Amino acid sequence: MALEKSVIARYEKSGEHFEILVDPKGAEEFKSGGKVAISDILEADEIFKDSGKADKAKSETLKKAFGTEDVLKIAEIILKEGEIQLTTEQRKEMSDRRLQKVIQSICRDAIDPQTSRPHPPERIKNALEQAHFHPDIHRRFEDQLEDAIKSIRPIIPIKFEKMTIAARIPAEFAPKAYMHLHHFTVKKEEWAKDGSLIAVIEIPAGLQDELYNELNSFTRGAAETKILKDFKG
């Protein structure tokens, strides 16, 4: 079965067996605490007794076990408390994807306190391997991320902090910059008399290179930046 195809989520309650067909990626995201609509995960709007035989659970059985016949409410319970049946290939791909997400999050939010620069992804990956960290696709991502950070602290120096950066964008690039900058946290902005935009931006320390690269890309290197040490907002 390809990863994109539906898989079975199973659940036992009140002596009865229930199954739903779900999208594995959506189910993984939901199980790890992501904000995913149940309706987007379900591949069939049915609660089955045996999905392989297309044997649907009876209404009275659903009411007895769940107190409702609402498919979405029942599916949510099955996803939260039941077990998702995945192939070895699916588990590996999901685990690899979870690991990459952990690495990206650490690179984005943390720096090496010795250099005040983000750690390269390969360094984070190597530290996680050295710490024998293995992602668990059934746990909330935030809990997994916390475990990953704890596991690598004895191996590499790591610090989490915010940076406040002032940027001045020349007038010819200011309207475009105004739209782009708001996917960062803009703490303050003002328009100068010459039409230039002055913005104070707060970012996780690990995003400074991304911010600089983005500013340079749409101002052709004309943006001026300065790190603010004591900005009070």
2 within some domain:
no
- The stretch 112-124 carries a mean pLDDT of 91
Q: Give 173-193 pLDDT, tens digit per residue.
A: 988 887 778 788 899 999 999
Residues 56 and 16 occupy one common structural domain: yes
What are the C-alpha distances in Å from 2 to residues 5, 24, 26, 86?
Answer: 6, 10, 14, 11
202 within some domain:
yes
Residue 131: band (very low, low, confident or very high) from pLDDT cuts 50, 70, 90: very high
* Greatest C-alpha distance within the chain: 74
What are the C-alpha distances in Å from 89 to residues 85, 93, 108, 139, 144?
Answer: 12, 6, 29, 19, 21
Q: Give 38-67 pLDDT, tens digit per residue.
A: 999 998 899 999 888 889 999 999 999 999
Tokens 């309650």 -> residue: 13
- The stretch 107-112 carries a mean pLDDT of 90
124 within some domain:
yes
Residues 154 and 167 occupy one common structural domain: no
Residue type, position 12, single letter = E
H helix intervals, the chain: 24-31, 38-41, 59-66, 71-81, 88-109, 121-130, 141-152, 174-181, 208-219
Would you state the pLDDT for residue 105? 92
Residue 67: give the domain boundaries.
7-84
pTM listed for this prediction? 0.63
CATH of the domain at 144: 1.10.10.900
67-79: buried (b, 16+ CB within 10 Å) or exposed (e) per residue? Answer: eeeebeebbbebb
Looking at 50, 84, 118, the residue that finishes a domain is 84
